[in-house]
Copies of this chain bind each other. A is one copy, B any other.
Amino acid sequence: MIKVGIVGGTGYTGAELLRLLALHPEVELVAITSRAEAGKRVTEIFPNLRGMVDLVFTPPEESILRRCDVIFFATPNGTAMGMVPGLLEAGVRVIDLAADFRLKDAAEWEQWYGMPHACPELLSEAVYGLPETNREAIREARLVACPGCYPTAVQLGFLPLLEAGVVKPGSLIADAKSGVSGAGRKASVGTLLAECSESMKAYAVSGHRHLPEIRQGLQAATGTEVGLVFVPHLTPMIRGIHATLYATLTRETADLQALFEQRFAAEPFVDVLPFGSHPETRSVKGANVCRIALHRPQGGGTVVVLSVIDNLVKGAAGQAVQNMNLMFGLRESAGLEAIALLP
């Protein structure tokens, strides 16, 4: 059994990690930390776990965490980087669900996240935890930076096109719609039901932190500069991301559908729907899967890719568990077989 600790367990990604790990056949949950809730039962905050998780929140003390084989950080940005060097030194492997190790360029990170980076020397070692591009590196990694939710949906939709060179890399538009859980479990006026239910809005159009992350990932795939306009929207639902992706075709491609099907043929958690389908976010609610469909409206020069994930699963906690499975040589889908809840 793999000894697992979770730092920062009171948010939605922490809750989702608990939901997945509690039923994982190879995992022993050893510790979950929260400064604010130390001493409280996990089930007082997450009653869905009653009878399934018996843990009590503890302060994030390194002495406890060092006893684990792997630590998941489900903390706000900027927390993990303060603790990771010590843990790695102690031989504990780390999966960070926050953004601390996602960007390779420390200066760019500091610009987007507005703080100095505590251990920029680890940025090059950290493996970007998108198994569909980095599976082998993840297996060996000491430190995995789990992708953001938008970057997961957007990259999986664009990658086959860019890798095959069938679209102009400077022409990308990602119009993404996210459920409100993406904003996290923290008191705020903007995400009250009375504020954001029965409404739709874009936000951060001038620049969202996931933009450099997506760009970095896509550029790694193509080796050339990528031009991307990324517009996220807040959608009145709890879970789900629907990314609608637009790119300009460079040539009359033989078969876009075959391109995607071949690219993801061996992927356990990417599902390419028949050409012309309309995936719904509810078809992945609670499940670690990205469903993708392709369109070429009016047979024109623009390819439209529809890519849906559950932001808390394939976009966060599920992908983190998928990474853990790879890192510890387990079946990649262990603990991740759950079927989306529909309706």
Task: State whether the Cβ of A240 lies closer than 8 Å to any Cβ in chain B.
Answer: yes
Task: State whether the Cβ of A306 lies closer than 8 Å to any Cβ in chain B.
Answer: yes
Q: Which of A135-183 contact B (CB under 8 A)?
A: 173, 175, 177, 179-181, 183
Query: Which residue in B175, B201, B278, B341 is a CB contact (below 8 Å) of A48?
Result: B341
The smallest beta-carbon distance between A112 and chain B, in angstroms, is 12
**With A47-B291, A205-B304, A205-B306: A240-B200 Cβ-Cβ less than 8 Å:** yes
A197 to B66, CA, bound (A): 38
Cβ–Cβ < 8 Å partners of A187 in chain B: 187-189, 192
Task: State whether the Cβ of A203 lies closer than 8 Å to any Cβ in chain B.
Answer: yes
B198 touches A240 (CB 8 A): yes
Query: Which residue in B175, B180, B279, B339 is a CB contact (below 8 Å) of A244?
Result: B175
- How many residues on the A side are at the interface (Cβ–Cβ under 8 A)? 86
A32 to B343, CA, bound (A): 19
**With A185-B195, A291-B47: A200-B237 Cβ-Cβ less than 8 Å:** yes
The smallest beta-carbon distance between A88 and chain B, in angstroms, is 31
Task: State whether the Cβ of A114 lies closer than 8 Å to any Cβ in chain B.
Answer: no
Of the 9-residue stretches A75-83, A91-99, A102-110, A292-300, which lies at the interface with chain B?
A292-300
A148 to B62, CA, bound (A): 50
A199 touches B244 (CB 8 A): no
Copies in the complex: 4
A304 to B202, CA, bound (A): 11
The smallest beta-carbon distance between A65 and chain B, in angstroms, is 24
Closest to A196 in B: B193
Q: Which of A254-285 contact B (CB under 8 A)?
A: 271, 273, 276, 278-285
Task: State whether the Cβ of A61 lies closer than 8 Å to any Cβ in chain B.
Answer: no
A295 touches B205 (CB 8 A): yes
Task: State whether the Cβ of A72 lies closer than 8 Å to any Cβ in chain B.
Answer: no
Query: Which residue in B23, B197, B246, B341 is a CB contact (below 8 Å) of A173?
Result: B246
A339 touches B238 (CB 8 A): no
Of the 9-residue stretches A115-123, A217-225, A226-234, which lies at the interface with chain B?
A226-234
**With A237-B236, A286-B286, A302-B229: A47-B280 Cβ-Cβ less than 8 Å:** yes
The smallest beta-carbon distance between A234 and chain B, in angstroms, is 9
Task: State whether the Cβ of A12 lies closer than 8 Å to any Cβ in chain B.
Answer: yes
B237 touches A198 (CB 8 A): yes
A229 touches B188 (CB 8 A): no
Cβ–Cβ < 8 Å partners of A295 in chain B: 205-206
